[in-house]
């Protein structure tokens, strides 16, 4: 699929000659070279308005929101609307989701054509949780923190679900880490609490956005966008080792998209990586595998990778069936060093190969970007 790319510098065709409204800022969220969402918003002393369009997944979705602020800079009311790319309402969805905030409660009303669903929650100084790729309202959290208020763990309510939390916590230098949202994005604000950068490099979101000018025609952009579909398709690597000897690895295949890989944005140093994307990467073996000093009995496992400046380690973990970011070292079967070599050419999609070199010898090879990491093993049948 040809991916839609929007830039603020070169995307003048996407900007209406007369802006829909006087927006003050925009954020273009990119995975490497590819744009996945665009947000724009304006903030005044009494409120915020904003809109966002995203194309990640099966459809292009638009959101519009408004926030009314009380004198202390906290929300007193808000509204979130979800639209299709053409501006129509999705089927069976509310036309509007409204929030009313008092000193000790927050109320959510989902407005449908024939009814309004209302839920109230007890909460002091509550905030609103917005969908992913709407980060403009975090400027309100920055303002609370700058004025000396607690902003690291505030009660918050989203368009669905029960009461949760939101907040920001120091992340080093002039950056803070988002708390309570779907992703712990790194945010950077200037001295006037204006959001300058959103960085998901250390999350599974991986998108990065920087502040730009407003005045974008989000409606026109939405109509020109194409859904990304599933960004990281599943694949199965298979190797045969004698009669009945099968080794399978099920994994997701993320793409480089002009980003740095080993020791960079995609596989940062000293972090435990899911070895692919989305669901955890699973190893299934009918043979006993011996990788260096590590013995892996027949069964199902998950594979993780830790890339360090001293070398790369393959982690075999006994927990199975989980999302790829769920990792517990207490479930490790063990770790084994991997060898890194250069690939003959650039590998855009992460690729795992279970290489068979005979009925008892093989190797697991993982290629991505400019490099491949691998580990040899022996495969022996279980004695009756």
Question: Per-residue pLDDT tens for 115-148?
Answer: 999 999 999 999 999 999 999 999 999 999 999 9
pLDDT at residue 384 in the model: 59
DSSP per-residue codes, 169-234: EE-STTEEEEESSSS--EEEE-TT--EEEEE-TTSSS--EEEEE-----HHHHHHH----B-SS-E
Quote the percentage of the chain above a pLDDT of 70. 93
User: What phi and psi values does residue 178 have, to the nearest 5 degrees?
Assistant: -70, 140
Strand-pair partners of 41: 25, 50
Q: Is residue 344 packed enough to be buried (19+ CB in 10 Å), middle (13-18) or exposed (0-12)?
A: exposed
Q: What is the largest CA-CA distance in the chain?
A: 78
pTM: 0.73
pLDDT over 60 (residue 243): yes
Closest by alpha carbon to 222, among 55, 23, 43? 55
The residue with tokens 């309510």 is: 157
Strand-pair partners of 211: 27
Cα-based torsion angle of the residue sequence 169, 173, 174, 180 in order, rounded to the nearest 10 degrees: -20
Strand-pair partners of 198: 187, 209
pLDDT at residue 4 in the model: 41
DSSP per-residue codes, 24-83: -EEEEEEETTEEEEEEEEEE-SSEEEEEEEE--BSS-EEEEEEEEE-TTSSEEEEEEEEE
pLDDT at residue 17 in the model: 30
pLDDT at residue 205 in the model: 85
pLDDT over 60 (residue 15): no
User: What phi and psi values does residue 156 have, to the nearest 5 degrees?
Assistant: -150, 150
């Amino acid at each position: 699929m040809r991916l839609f790319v929007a830039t603020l510098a070169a995307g003048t065709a996407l900007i209406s000659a007369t802006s829909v409204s006087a927006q003050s800022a925009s954020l273009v969220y990119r995975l490497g070279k590819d744009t996945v969402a665009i947000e724009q918003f304006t903030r005044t002393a009494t409120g915020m308005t904003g809109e966002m369009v995203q194309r990640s997944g099966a459809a292009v979705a638009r959101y519009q929101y408004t926030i009314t602020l009380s004198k202390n800079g906290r929300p007193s009311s808000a509204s979130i609307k979800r639209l299709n790319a053409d501006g129509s309402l999705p089927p069976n969805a509310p036309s509007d989701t409204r929030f009313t905030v008092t000193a000790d409660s927050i109320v959510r009303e989902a407005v449908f054509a024939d009814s309004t669903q209302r839920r109230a929650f007890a909460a002091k100084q509550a905030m609103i949780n917005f969908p992913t790729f709407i980060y403009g309202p975090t400027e309100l959290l920055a303002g609370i923190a700058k004025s000396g208020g607690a902003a690291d763990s505030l009660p918050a309510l989203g368009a669905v679900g029960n009461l949760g939390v939101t907040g920001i916590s120091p992340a080093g230098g002039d950056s803070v880490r988002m708390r309570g949202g779907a992703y712990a994005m790194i945010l950077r604000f200037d001295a006037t609490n204006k959001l300058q950068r959103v960085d998901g490099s250390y999350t599974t979101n991986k998108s990065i956005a920087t502040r730009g000018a407003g005045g974008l025609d989000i409606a026109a952009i939405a109509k020109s966008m194409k859904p990304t579909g599933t960004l990281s398709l599943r694949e199965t690597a298979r190797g045969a080792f004698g009669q009945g000897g099968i080794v399978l690895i099920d994994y997701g295949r993320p793409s480089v998209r002009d980003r740095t890989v080993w020791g960079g944005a995609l596989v940062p140093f000293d972090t435990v990586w899911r070895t692919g994307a989305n669901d955890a990467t699973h190893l299934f073996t009918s043979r006993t595998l011996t990788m260096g000093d590590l013995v892996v009995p027949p069964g199902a496992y998950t594979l993780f990778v830790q890339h360090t400046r001293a070398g790369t380690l393959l982690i075999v973990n006994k927990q199975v069936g989980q999302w790829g970011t769920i990792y517990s070292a207490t479930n490790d079967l063990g770790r084994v060093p991997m060898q890194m070599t250069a690939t003959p050419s650039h590998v855009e999609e992460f690729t795992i190969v279970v290489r068979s070199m005979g009925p008892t010898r093989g190797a697991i090879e993982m290629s991505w970007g400019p490099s491949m990491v691998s580990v040899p093993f022996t495969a022996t049948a279980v004695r009756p």
